[in-house]
Amino acid sequence: MHFRLAVVPEINHLSALVAEAFNHYDLYQQTIGQTFLKTADYQRFILQLHAVHIAVNVHLKKVFVVEAQQQIVSVVILDSPQLPTPSIWQYLKHGGLKLLPYVLKHQLGRFLKMLEVAEKVPQQDQLANWHINMLAVNPAHQGQHIGSKTLTQYILPYVKQHGGQQVSLITNTARNVAFYQKNAFQVIDERWLAFQSTQIKSWALVRQL
């Protein structure tokens, strides 16, 4: 397998891959997903949301992929003090305007604010902290330990080589918590995130390097 930066021509492919990987993820389905009446509309939204997120971060050189036999098997977005933070103008430039209808009809602003609060929890006051913003496994390759290999063979060594002393992330499923704990991550925060009348669990985890 090979670990490398994603490139601009791959944005559409990566967006579709990530959208499919997270299509049934509780973080989306049990919150903003409940504001959609039609499954097709929800799936279109998930694709557009990830398309913007991927496009912005590819241009900032924060998206990495793992390849195996010329196929992308996982996608990673990393945040760190060494890497730039996206601006609102960059989001607008790379398709953010297409998301404006969802702000009005589906409370996208409230959803993104909820995510922002959760993501900041494990990153507070950690100058040497790197944060796994996203780790998505190609659905066609799930069940092959791709997530574990991506984490242990590529993400953690890469962060350490670039001076990182700690890696953090958030997740919303107990299954993922168990996975990361097996890989020496520790839970540092556990809370409920609120969206309208729905609440969803969020865990923040860190691992020292």
Question: Which domain does 81 fall in, by range?
Answer: 2-208
- At 104 the pLDDT is 77
pTM: 0.91
- At 123 the pLDDT is 64
Cα gap 102→54, rounded to integer Å: 18
Domains contained in the chain, number: 1
As given in the structure block, the two tokens for residue 14 are 């990566």
State the CATH number of the domain containing residue 178: 3.40.630.30
Residue spans of the chain under pLDDT 50: none
- At 128 the pLDDT is 59
Beta strand 166-171 pairing with 129-137: parallel
Cα gap 186→193, rounded to integer Å: 20
pLDDT digits (tens, 9 = 90+) for 49-108: 999 999 999 999 999 999 999 999 999 999 988 888 888 888 888 988 889 889 878 888
